[in-house]
Amino acid sequence: MSMKQPLVIDYANWPKLLPSQPLLTSFQSGWNSIQLAHYHQSSIDFPEVSNPRHMLIIPLGHQAFDLEFVPEGHLQTISYREKDYASSCIQIVPANLPHRARSISTVQSIEWIHCYLEPTFLARIAYEAVNPDHVELLPTPKKVDLLLHHIGLELKSNLEIDGSGSRFYADSMATALSAYLLRYYSTRNHHFQKYENGLSKIKLKQAVEYIQSHLGEDLSLSDIANELGMSQYYFCHLFKRSTGISPHQFLIRQRVEQAKHLLKQPVQTVTTVTLECGFANQSHFARCFRQYTGMNPNQFRKL
């Protein structure tokens, strides 16, 4: 292993190591605890680096290729074939792990999703189960994992559709991702306490009232969890047990219900309703409104 210190490269500077820029990123979308980038590359070859965030890497496409991956000086050859894409392979590179990589086969295009997870966020999710000082993930060069693959694809899809309106959803997925990583990809066994009954009536009422009073704002999952004095993981878990839907789904439904009320007032324009109900833009508003009502805002207004 080289005695040189590895380059420390955070997510925003990762594109500088690669021959072409990402097709899609969340870097300007207001995401906090997790970031995403979608890459198409003809090759990969970068020196020893470390990333201050945990990296979940998801290969896409159908190109067969071979990759030299060298974590802490230990050479590993990772081969991807068409069956690996169908079976949902992933790779995990823990934060601050020195590593380098080089593609050793010629292909037209290598397609990846990179998800960058903040270690302090992972520790916050873990605090009710373990000592955050001992949260450490296992390096995983290649493994089939349907759920992690699905989370990466869902984050990419939501970012493509909603852009700056996807922060609450990203928070929710980062929470689910963190809990899953702690259970199955940690150096220690992490067990979360199980609750059977959901939120208390008082806590549920408090959560609902807080959401309803902040519909027009750029509300975050942590805002609600902090208001209730609990972790994001347990808030999401208990809220869904109480209501049957996730906090993100509940928020969108409440925004649509408020929009329906405002659209019945002739003085309210669609643009005004979009902003007052907290939707990122009119396209985001129209899509969510159609999802829950089966019609667009203008069609609803004519009823």
Residue 219 to residue 263: CA distance in whole angstroms? 22
Are 179 and 133 in contact by the 8 Å Cβ rule? The answer is: no
What is the per-residue pLDDT across 22-36, written as a single tens digit (0 to 9) for each? 999 999 888 989 999
**Whether the predicted pLDDT of 131 surpasses 60:** no
Burial class (CB in 10 A: 0-12, 13-18, 19+), 17: middle
201-249 folds as Arc Repressor Mutant, subunit A (1.10.10)
CATH, domain range 254-301? 1.10.10.60
**7-184 and 201-249, same CATH topology:** no
H helices present in the chain, as ranges: 82-86, 119-126, 146-162, 167-184, 201-213, 221-228, 232-243, 247-263, 270-276, 282-293, 297-301
| Neighbour count for residue 93 (Cβ, 10 Å) | 24
Quick: pLDDT tens for 132-171.
557 889 999 999 999 999 999 999 998 988 776 688 999 9
pTM: 0.87
Architecture of domain 7-184: Sandwich (2.60)
Q: 77 near 26, Cβ under 8 Å?
A: no
Domain layout of the chain by residue ranges = 7-184, 201-249, 254-301
